[in-house]
Amino acid sequence: MRSAPFTLLLSAFLCAAGCSDSGDGDGGETTGTGGATGGTTSGGTTSGTPSGATTGSGETSASSGATTGSGDTTSASNGATSGSGGGATTGSGAGGEGTGGSDGTGGGASARVPAASASTLREAGEKANPPLLIGAAISGGGLGNNDYKRVAAAEHNYVTAENEMKWDALEPSAGNFSWGSADNIVNWARQNNMKVKGHTLVWHSQLPGWMSSMTGKANVEAAMRRHITQVMGHFKDRLDHWDVVNEAVQTDSDTGVGNPRMRPTVFYNQIGESYIDLAFQIAREQDPKAKLYYNDYSIDARNDKVEFVYNMVKGMVDRGVPIDGVGFQMHIGPPNNEAGGADVAANMKRFTDLGLEVLISEMDINRCGGVVTAEEQLTYYHDIVAACFKEPKCTAVTFWGINDGRSWLNGWSGALCNGQSSQSLLFNDQYGKKETYNRVMNALLGK
């Protein structure tokens, strides 16, 4: 866990003319006045936003990253930022920063050792040493289906609410919070011994109109502080992983190419780039032990966007901003980029060399439009999950959904599906395992 002293840089990045950028289809959030939850998001936004819309662990006992690491929740390890998992062959000790077994993350181990066998993805992740969290985006609608629930709980031990913990869902009107849908998911996860990552505290999309149209630095700072504090406070005893800032960077193309820059959100436009530091600082004040992540798409392989994000995150680390890791969303195929396993591994290494965890946070591989072939999809699934598995500081792989029929891609215009299934996940519509599942399992077993 990073807990370096925080030095807030209020560098004057106040928005000038460029902030009204709208050329890439996700403008609108700063001028929107209307609707509660706008139809457009990023994560691969290619279409414009309607005006007025809101644009847009493993409690697995940290089995020592190696031979002598400790594993309970009180002992500290010597593992870098995640601190858990023991810390390779030199073991644990008086590090003071580590969190011992609470997450089962990589610590200082130099390699992850696979389980000899496993009958579920979850088991493969839990038996690996150090353990790897196996996640899924879970929707409230999905939990109404018994097969969905059965597969989700059997195969995963890490949950991200697909929409229910976003700003529009939790704080639909200023200062009035609505917890019901999120509580349902969090409580179901805990009943099934699954860890939860809060998603997401500060994001331009799925932002209610009252927030996206707010003006004035002090107003926006105060609203951001209230939201982070209230939301983290509500869930404090139940979850300690958070996507603090999501998708703060954009390029001309959603594949991460062309003119990388800060996304002109209400937060950036009113506060300046320092809103990111501030969000992490507030989150750390609220929970000194939580894992705090930056999360973005099309940063999985080397491109303009990830260079920008790398420099941004490196700056945060250098300034002592309390960031613990970076989520590579890993939406592969239209509308986002493609990334091979070797690219992903090299890219992860750069971030872990900063002392950060990395996570695959929203993986799916879209087959629509014939851009990614069936064979390429299988190769990507294996090689990208293997890249994470082989990197002990890659602490989780989360798939963005359970079964193909419920994938967000099916209804997303930029995904080129035109009403067809994106065939993007590990389970078919009858909740049967696909070949994609087998390839992921192989990667988790070191094959």
**Catalytically active residues, by annotation:** 247, 362
Q: Which stretch binds ligand G3I (CB under 6 A): 3-11, 40-48, 96-104, 123-131?
A: 40-48
Pick one of 99, 205, 253, 347: the residue that binds ligand G3I (CB under 6 A): 205
- Comparison of 96 and 411: residue with beta carbon closer to ligand G3I: 411
Distances, alpha carbon 345 to alpha carbons 106, 133, 340, 359, 383, in Å: 16, 18, 9, 12, 9
* CA–CA gap between residue 398 and residue 401 (Å, rounded): 9
- Let me know: does 403 contact 427? Beta carbons within 8 Å: yes
Residues 335-394 that bind ligand G3I (CB under 6 A): 362
To ligand G3I, the closest distance from the beta carbon of 42 in angstroms equals 6
- Comparison of 246 and 352: residue with beta carbon closer to ligand G3I: 246
Residue 410 in the binding site for ligand G3I (CB under 6 A): no
To ligand G3I, the closest distance from the beta carbon of 429 in angstroms equals 17
- Comparison of 57 and 200: residue with beta carbon closer to ligand G3I: 200
- Comparison of 77 and 205: residue with beta carbon closer to ligand G3I: 205
Using DSSP bridges, classify how beta strands 249-250 and 261-262 pair: parallel, antiparallel or unpaired: antiparallel
Letters for 297-336 (x = contact with ligand G3I by CB under 6 A, - = none) are: x-------------------------------x-------
Distances, alpha carbon 130 to alpha carbons 71, 82, 106, 123, 310, in Å: 10, 12, 5, 13, 26
Residue 181 in the binding site for ligand G3I (CB under 6 A): no
Residue 41 in the binding site for ligand G3I (CB under 6 A): yes
- Let me know: does 63 contact 112? Beta carbons within 8 Å: no
Residue 35 in the binding site for ligand G3I (CB under 6 A): no
**How many Cα atoms are found within 13 Å in the side-chain-facing hemisphere of 343?**
15
Pick one of 54, 75, 157, 206: the residue that binds ligand G3I (CB under 6 A): 206
Those residues with Cβ within 8 angstroms of residue 17's Cβ, 6 or more apart along the chain or in another chain: none
Q: Which stretch binds ligand G3I (CB under 6 A): 13-21, 41-49, 220-228, 258-266?
A: 41-49
Pick one of 126, 162, 304, 383: the residue that binds ligand G3I (CB under 6 A): 162
- Comparison of 42 and 377: residue with beta carbon closer to ligand G3I: 42
- Comparison of 206 and 423: residue with beta carbon closer to ligand G3I: 206
Q: What are phi and psi of 342, to 5 degrees?
A: -65, -40
- Comparison of 123 and 296: residue with beta carbon closer to ligand G3I: 296
Size of the site for ligand G3I (CB under 6 A): 13
Q: Which stretch binds ligand G3I (CB under 6 A): 36-44, 67-75, 76-84, 104-112?
A: 36-44
Q: Which stretch binds ligand G3I (CB under 6 A): 13-21, 35-43, 75-83, 180-188?
A: 35-43
Nearest residue to ligand G3I, by Cβ distance, number only: 43
Residues 239-268 that bind ligand G3I (CB under 6 A): 246
* CA–CA gap between residue 388 and residue 341 (Å, rounded): 9
CA nearest neighbour of 62 among 46, 85, 31, 32: 85
**Look-up of token digits 């530091």:** 277
Which residues contribute to the site for ligand G3I (CB under 6 A)? 39, 41, 43-44, 162-163, 205-206, 246, 297, 329, 362, 408
